[in-house]
Amino acid sequence: MIVSLTLILLAQLLGEVAARAAGLPVPGPVIGMALLLGFLVLRDRTQPASTRWLPPPLVDGGLEGTAKGLLAHLSIMFVPAGVGIVGKLDVLASHGLALAAVLTLSVTLTLAATVLTFVAVSKLLDRR
Amino acid sequence: MTGEFALWVYLSRTPLLWLAVTLLAYAVADRLFQAAGRHPIANPVIHAIWMIGLVLTLTGTPYRAYFEGAQFVHFLLGPATVALAVPLYERRATVTRALLPMLAALLVGCVTAMTSALVFAKLAGIPYDVRLAMAPKSVTTGVAMGIVEALGGDPTLAAVLVMLTGMAGAVIVTPLMRTLRVEDMRARGFAAGLAAHGLGTARAFQVSEVAGTFAGIAMALNAFLTAILVPVAVSFLR
């Protein structure tokens, strides 16, 4: 668990550094995700050497377990930022109804447009 | 100073109190969510947020003081985003096969998210500074704040609008997909992550791991594309 968390944090750290250094509009953790993905690809391409040299948790499924453990609790991680809404109640109150209507309408439209495009294109490709 | 008051002052200054309150509120909200048969309206994030908000209002605690404690939970968002690589890697065959549908859906979804928000907000008579903060509303908080700040808007307001969008999306997605009769979990997840960022992704993981994986990809890709397109969209739809 410690080794797996270390690897995840290192990927995030490198991601943050890369994002700042290159002035990329992508957040550090997203670059960290790409780096971890790269690690997993390399790990499996370099079998059996990687199994011999890497710490056991990174090759015996420990890393996968830690990552999935984090993702299983993704919801709670949004609570602290979400409570920030309380501090903006004045703006929300002055445009409350209009704001709620616009956000709900827009998110519904976005969900529908995205899902229908996805389904349409994948059906088109399947038919060929 | 009475004894209880001194204790309160002491506790409210340590991270322990607000960390405990955050976990407790979420535990209660999650229990209710399970009892309600995981119905989207019982979304544990939403109910934990208003419970904590109520506690803060009643005790007169500023948000900054609360965040001092709750930041430990907030911090985990970064590592969790990195962790998305694992389900992505495990399902790489499914993902590469869906490359074209994903790219098409990304483009359509990203443009719809921005233009619909800007156009509807203008029609509703919402002032320009609020509209500006609304443009990247479907993107994960950190990126949305950065985009709005670069355009001279209010990043805190942007964060709030992002959260509200995420909550709305997380509640709407399942009933909407049922109405549209979409059963493809890849498409459902992708839409959830694109329209409602991390909250949509969290919701998708509650439904299925395939949906969650595609939601994570959509969230990452949309953050990238929106950062590029928002300045363009805002200049067109002032």
**The pLDDT of residue B1 is above 60:** no
Say how far apart CA B207 and CA B228 lie, in whole Å. 31
Test A76 with B45 for CB contact under 8 angstroms. Answer: yes
CB-based contact A84 B163, cutoff 8 Å? yes
pLDDT tens across B149-184, in order? 888 888 888 888 999 999 999 999 999 999 999 999
Read off φ and ψ for residue B124, nearest 5 degrees. Answer: -80, 0
Q: What is the pLDDT of residues A57-90, one digit of tens each?
A: 998 999 999 999 999 898 899 899 889 888 777 7
- Residues in chain A with CB shorter than 8 Å from the CB of B21 are none
Q: Does A2 touch chain B (CB under 8 A)?
A: no
Can you tell me the distance from the alpha carbon of B153 to that of B158, in angstroms, rounded to the nearest whole number?
8
A95 lies within 8 A of chain B by CB? yes
What is the CB neighbour count within 10 angstroms for residue A33?
A: 28
A74:B137 CB<8 A: no
Nearest CB neighbour to A33, from listed B142, B164, B220: B220
Q: Is A95 helix (H, G, I), strand (E, B) or coil?
A: helix
SS3 state at A110: helix
CB contact under 8 A, A88 and B156: yes
Pick the range with the lowest mean pLDDT from A21-30, B122-131, B201-210. Answer: A21-30
In total, the C-beta contacts within 8 angstroms joining chain A to chain B are: 308
Best mutation site among B30, B81, B107, B145 for testing chain A: the one with the most A CBs within 10 Å? B81
- Picking from A24, A66, A71 by the largest number of B CB atoms within 10 A of its own CB, the best residue to mutate is A71
Residue B167 token pair = 């909550």
Pick A9's closest partner by Cβ from B79, B163, B205.
Answer: B79
d(CA B190, CA A61): 26
Residue B219 tokens read as 């969230």
User: For an interface test with A, which of B45, B75, B82 has the most A Cβ atoms less than 10 Å from its Cβ?
Assistant: B82
Is pLDDT at B99 greater than 90 in this prediction? Answer: yes
Enumerate residues 37 to 76 of chain A having a beta carbon within 8 A of any beta carbon in chain B.
37, 39-41, 63-64, 66-68, 70-76
Q: What is the pLDDT of residues B4-45, one digit of tens each?
A: 778 877 777 778 999 999 999 999 999 999 999 988 899 999
- pTM of the full predicted structure? 0.85
- Compute the Cα dihedral for B215, B217, B218, B224 and give only its sign: positive
Whether the per-residue pLDDT at A9 is higher than 90: the answer is yes
Residue B221's nearest CA partner among B237, B202, B197, B189 is: B197
Which among A32, A70, A115 is the nearest to B177, CB-wise?
A115
State the pLDDT at residue B85. 92
Residue B117 — very low, low, confident or very high, per pLDDT cuts 50/70/90?
very high
In percent, how much of chain B has pLDDT > 70?
A: 99
- Mutation target vs B (from A76, A104, A124; most B CBs, 10 A cutoff): A76
| Tokens representing residue A47 in the block | 């079998």
- Per DSSP, the residues of chain B read --HHHHHHHHHHHSHHHHHHHHHHHHHHHHHHHHHTTT-GGG-HHHHHHHHHHHHHHHHT--HHHHHHHHHHHHHTHHHHHHHTHHHHHHTHHHHHHTHHHHHHHHHHHHHHHHHHHHHHHHHTT--HHHHHHHTTTTS-HHHHHHHHHHTTS-HHHHHHHHHHHHHHHHHHHHHHHHHTT---HHHHHHHHHHHHHHHHHHHHHHH-HHHHHHHHHHHHHHHHHHHHHHHHHHHH--
Is the distance from CB of B196 to CB of B116 less than 8 angstroms?
Answer: no
Q: How far apart are CA A5 and CA A67, in angstroms?
A: 8
Q: What is the pLDDT of residue B40?
A: 87
A101 touching chain B per CB within 8 A:
yes
